[in-house]
Amino acid sequence: MARRIEKTEDEWKHELTPEKYRVLRKKGTELPFSGKLLGNRKDGIYVCAGCGNELFSSATKFDSGCGWPSFSAPLADDSVERKEDRSMFTVRTEVLCEKCGGHLGHVFEDGPQPTGLRFCINSVSLEFEERDERRGAGKKDGKSN
């Protein structure tokens, strides 16, 4: 994993949209079924909207019906960090970007096999890079199909 990104709150506020700042830096969430990437069915990689760290593959994305993009596993074990979250009067596991510490969402143990995990991730925390199989390059696309 590359060196951890450290920025001041003012730097993050300047670089991120207000909504991305609220979710990534202040641990907010978007309304269910409102995210731009919820219905995305394209092949590619989901990266952190704060720093570009590669987080999830479209190969692990599934429709959980929960209202947020769901993945059964991160792209690599060291691409995300998991942390106990005792907010909202319950104990959950928060998922953060390992590179910048941005809040992505939560992980639950009710996902499909073989992992049994459901990474429930805010669309606003992600950008999508579509695969271009012919050239081996990608292009950023935040639009859903």
Beta-sheet strands, E only, within 34-125 = 44-48, 54-57, 61-62, 70-71, 80-85, 92-97, 103-108, 118-121
Bridge partners of 140, per DSSP, are 129
The span from the CA of 87 to the CA of 136, in Å, is: 42
Distances (CA, A) of 15 to 5, 48, 66: 13, 13, 30
- 92 Cα distance to chain centroid: 16
Active site residue 120: yes
Say whether the peptide bond before residue 74 is cis (omega within 30 degrees of 0). Answer: no
Active site residues: 120
